């Protein structure tokens, strides 16, 4: 089992609502960054992938908002591969503040040809790299 990719992120004023609490949609922006960093860790830049005819589109997302993040919080975004298919990947993602779980999500993405907008198989090398990062869900 491998460790999740970890990304540190600070909450800025622009991320919050009038009460200084992170606006709910921004959690999805934060976890998108986590998935991007996982790809970077594997040596893949999303621009290069797109130029090569590979993109990822979110097919589904489920999320639990457990506790609010606030202005100036230092957050940790954890991203792990939960499961793999031939043309899709499911990610398990969490946002924490000082080890306190604030948010968790499962996001399923499909590999697509960006020019045609149709599903395609994940390239073999990338599939192998992502499969190697797959881990079993943690018991809660």
98 classed as catalytic: no
At 121, give phi and psi (nearest 5°).
-70, 145
- The answer to whether 121 touches 54, Cβ cutoff 8 Å, is no
Active-site annotation holder among 17, 45, 72, 113: 17
What phi and psi, each to the nearest 5 degrees, are found at residue 84? -130, 145
* CA atoms of 64 and 106, how far apart (whole Å): 9
Tokens 């399923």 label which residue? 108
Confirm if 46 and 36 have CB atoms less than 8 A apart: yes
Which residues are identified as catalytic?
A: 17
């Amino acid at each position: 089992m491998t460790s999740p990719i970890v990304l540190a992120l600070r909450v800025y004023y622009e991320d919050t609502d009038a009460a200084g609490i992170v606006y709910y949609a921004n959690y999805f922006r934060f976890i998108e960054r986590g998935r991007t960093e996982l790809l970077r860790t594997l040596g893949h830049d999303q621009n290069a992938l797109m130029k090569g005819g590979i993109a990822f589109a979110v097919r589904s997302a489920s999320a639990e908002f457990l506790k609010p993040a606030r202005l100036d919080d230092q957050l940790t975004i954890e991203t792990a591969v939960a499961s793999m298919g031939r043309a899709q990947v499911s990610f398990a993602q969490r946002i924490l503040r000082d080890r306190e779980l604030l948010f968790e999500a499962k996001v399923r993405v499909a590999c697509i040809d960006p020019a045609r907008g149709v599903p395609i198989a994940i390239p073999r090398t990338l599939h192998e790299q992502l499969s190697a990062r797959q881990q079993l869900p943690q018991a809660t």
